[in-house]
Structure formats: C-alpha cells, structure tokens
C-alpha cells in the first residue's frame, strides 16, 4: 500500500463518510475509489452488449464440459 497526501474539501469528505457509512476518511476514500472502478467496468461491459457472438448454447456451456462431471 502506498501513502498519498491530497487536499480535499472537508465538507465533501464528511458527506462521503456519511454516504458510505465509513468510520475513517481513508475507508471512505477507498470505498469511493472501488465503487468508481466497478462502475467503469460495468459501463465497459454494457458497451459490448450485442457485439459478441456465441457459438455454443447456454445448455451446452453448462453441461458440455466433461471436467465438471
């Protein structure tokens, strides 16, 4: 883990802490960063909707792998 010093508006940090129910400023910022990363990943996945072609049926994918049996 790295240590970083940044200046943030107190009111914004307090609002964030209340919103994410964090016990410390560090926890609040980490939670906000994780949430933002997850949101960006979801957005990227959504942009791929309808652009991928599957050649196997869902049933075949579920039950066709002999390693799982």
Q: Give the 3-state DSSP-derived string for 12-30, with helices as H, strands as E and coil as C.
A: HHHHHHHHHCCCCHHHHHH
Per-block average pLDDT, block size 10, for the chain (69 residues)? 92 97 96 97 87 75 69
Alpha helices in the chain (DSSP H): 10-20, 25-47, 58-63
Q: What local confidence, expressed as pLDDT, does residue 60 receive? A: 77
The domain locations on the chain are 10-68
């Amino acid at each position: 883990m790295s240590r970083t010093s940044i200046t943030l508006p107190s009111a914004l940090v307090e609002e964030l802490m209340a919103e994410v129910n964090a016990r410390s400023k560090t926890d609040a910022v980490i939670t906000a960063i994780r949430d933002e990363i997850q949101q960006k990943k979801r957005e990227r996945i959504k942009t791929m909707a309808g652009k991928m072609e599957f050649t196997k049926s869902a049933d075949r994918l579920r039950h066709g792998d002999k390693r799982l049996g």
